[in-house]
């Protein structure tokens, strides 16, 4: 009887300790959420709450994410600066003024980083990845930080994502993202978003990163034609090499004749090249596989070409 009471007492002690710990951690989260809502990710009091939270649970995923956000946000200062061109890193200007000669000067919002604080953010990201190696959230967090910091030349971001693709090939278990299992379809869609991010930078380095990542992924996922279409778009836009662009679009269409991305891009290449034979080919495919609107437009163009 005494032994039974002792076991029950120990059990209650363990349960109460666990419950107390959970309440403590929830209090940290509550205080953090409250301060962030009022003052922002790097606002007054946030650092203190995060330090206390880390003392209580140094591997807590939410705490690590909050700590990264604190340093990453604090590292940035927004400025408005002139840049040539109508877009900068895919962004529209915040204002356009005239110079002394009456020419348009476009001003863009640019984030300038404090290197020391940015380095602290990366340390937190690495720590989070070491504690939670199965969470894609932290892998993407680090890649996003590189993209934001490097701007025109995403060399470290590319290396990070290439390494992640290699790691994915070796995995035997599922990733996790936002508290749920993330399958290979999710992974491919996420990587395609990163390819697009490189493309929208609109710089030569951005286009090269777009090509390299797309080429790697097209080999790893041969059934995913999005990555092959990407390579075609690289030759179409970055190189204006229409012959090579056709090669990749036609490779997609050989496997999937109704792929409208390949059809539209092939048509765009033909029109830029002023190649009527190729234009006719893609228009006929659009008539066959496109939407009603696509079909009507393509038929109208084909009739005009016969005149």
pLDDT surpasses 70 at 140? yes
pLDDT-derived band at 15, boundaries 50, 70, 90: very low
35 and 82 inside one domain: no
83 and 41 inside one domain: no
Residue 301 falls inside a structural domain: no
Q: Return the percentage of the chain with pLDDT > 70, whole number.
A: 92
Q: Which of 52, 86, 113 is the last residue of a domain?
A: 113
Range of the domain at 98: 76-113
Residue 153 falls inside a structural domain: no
18 and 57 inside one domain: yes
Work out how many domains the chain is built from and give that number: 2
| Chain-centroid distance, C-alpha 305 | 42
70 and 35 inside one domain: yes
pLDDT surpasses 60 at 130? yes
How many alpha carbons lie under 13 Å from residue 53 in its C-beta half-sphere?
24
Q: What is the dihedral of CA 293, 295, 300, 301, to 10 degrees?
A: 110
Residue 8 falls inside a structural domain: yes
Q: Which of 113, 128, 162 is the last residue of a domain?
A: 113
> According to the model, what pLDDT value does residue 64 have?
97
b/e per residue, 220-257, with b = 16+ CB within 10 A?
Answer: bbeebbbbbbbbbbbbbbbeeebeebbebbebbbeeee
Residue 12 falls inside a structural domain: yes
69 and 81 inside one domain: no
Residue 118 falls inside a structural domain: no
CA nearest neighbour of 124 among 177, 69, 73, 161: 69
pLDDT surpasses 80 at 194? yes
Q: Which of 27, 53, 75 is the last residue of a domain?
A: 75
What average pLDDT does range 10-15 have in this prediction? 45
Residue 53 falls inside a structural domain: yes
Q: In 40-114, where does DSSP find H-type helix?
A: 46-56, 61-74
pLDDT-derived band at 2, boundaries 50, 70, 90: low
12 and 23 inside one domain: yes
56 and 15 inside one domain: yes
63 and 109 inside one domain: no
What average pLDDT does range 200-215 have in this prediction? 97
Residue 147 falls inside a structural domain: no
What average pLDDT does range 16-23 have in this prediction? 47
Residue 49 falls inside a structural domain: yes
What average pLDDT does range 208-212 have in this prediction? 98
Q: 227-272 pLDDT, tens per residue?
A: 999 999 999 999 999 999 999 999 999 999 999 999 999 999 999 9
Q: What 3-state DSSP class applies to 126?
A: helix
Q: 58-116 pLDDT, tens per residue?
A: 999 999 999 999 999 999 999 999 998 888 888 899 999 988 888 899 999 999 999 99
């Amino acid at each position: 009887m005494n032994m039974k009471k002792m076991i029950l007492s120990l059990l209650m002690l363990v349960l109460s300790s666990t419950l107390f710990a959970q309440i403590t951690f929830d209090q940290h989260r509550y205080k953090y959420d409250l301060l962030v809502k009022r003052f922002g990710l790097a606002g007054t009091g946030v650092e203190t709450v995060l330090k206390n939270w880390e003392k209580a649970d140094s591997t807590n995923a939410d705490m690590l994410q909050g700590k990264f956000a604190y340093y990453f946000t604090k590292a940035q200062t927004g400025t408005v600066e002139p840049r040539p061109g109508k877009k900068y890193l895919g962004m529209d200007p915040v204002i356009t003024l005239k110079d002394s000669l009456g020419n348009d000067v476009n001003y863009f919002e640019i984030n300038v980083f404090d290197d020391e604080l940015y380095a602290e953010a990366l340390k937190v990201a690495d720590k989070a990845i070491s504690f939670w190696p199965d969470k894609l959230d932290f892998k993407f967090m680090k890649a996003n930080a590189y993209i934001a910091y490097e701007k025109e030349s995403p060399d470290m971001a590319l290396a990070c994502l290439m390494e992640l693709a290699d790691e994915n090939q070796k995995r035997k278990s599922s990733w996790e993202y936002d508290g749920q299992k993330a399958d290979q379809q999710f992974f491919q869609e996420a990587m395609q978003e990163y390819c697009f991010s490189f493309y929208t930078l609109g710089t030569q380095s951005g286009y090269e990163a777009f090509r390299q990542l797309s080429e790697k992924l097209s080999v790893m996922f041969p059934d995913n034609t999005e990555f092959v279409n990407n390579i075609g778009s690289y030759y179409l836009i970055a190189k204006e090499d229409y012959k090579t662009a056709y090669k990749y679009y036609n490779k997609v269409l050989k496997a999937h004749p109704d792929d409208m991305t390949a059809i539209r891009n092939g048509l765009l290449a033909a029109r830029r090249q002023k190649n009527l034979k190729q234009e006719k080919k893609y228009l006929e495919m659009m008539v066959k596989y496109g939407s009603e609107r696509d079909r009507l437009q393509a038929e109208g163009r084909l009739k005009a070409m016969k005149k």
